[in-house]
A = this chain, B = another copy of it.
């Protein structure tokens, strides 16, 4: 299975330094082999009136080779950008402008996922880079319409989302991340 982490979109640097934070593809490629890159990821969920997670959103993508893989909301934190800004930007990028996500009051993630280019160092792999990702469970209250390269969002029960079948389709080992997300909200059996 092709393993990838979504590329940052070429949004201008939110920190104000107009060119400083922008990296050309070549520069980014070079840096990716020399520094761990910081990512944020989100497992979108629906909750009931008491906060119980009732369903989990999983994204379907086509790789450059035409393979279908599943993933979650994911993207790089830019220079000068707060974690919350990055999380909101990637939620909007992947779920559309009408998803109305409820960002958590705490910026402590439910898990820190470490992606290495070489398998076996951790549960997660990314053949392009060493990335460290802060992962959050984010309730969404509106309508999700995937944009960019995501083809579709599939809403699953917690049981389906935690199944071996779905885990085997997730890119980069993110099946473990979805299970950890469910465990963090008491929805993993």
- The smallest beta-carbon distance between A161 and chain B, in angstroms, is 14
B111 touching A112, Cβ below 8 Å:
no
Most buried by B among A31, A102, A175, A186: A186
Q: Which of B50, B82, B122 lies in contact with A122, CB distance below 8 A?
A: B82
As a 0/1 sequence over residues 142 to 185 of chain A, the CB contacts with chain B under 8 angstroms (1 = contact) are 00000000000000000000000000000001011001100111
Q: Given the complex of chains A and B, what is the CA–CA distance between A157 and B22 in angstroms?
A: 36
How many chain-A residues does the 8 Å CB contact rule pick out? 62
Q: Given the complex of chains A and B, what is the CA–CA distance between A85 and B122 in angstroms?
A: 12
Assembly of this chain: how many copies? 4
Q: Is A72's CB within 8 Å of the partner chain B?
A: no
Q: Which of B15, B35, B83 lies in contact with A37, CB distance below 8 A?
A: B35
Q: Is A108's CB within 8 Å of the partner chain B?
A: yes
A-B contact pairs, 5 of them (CB 8 A): A77-B132, A79-B130, A108-B184, A173-B189, A180-B188
B179 touching A183, Cβ below 8 Å:
yes
Q: Is A139's CB within 8 Å of the partner chain B?
A: yes
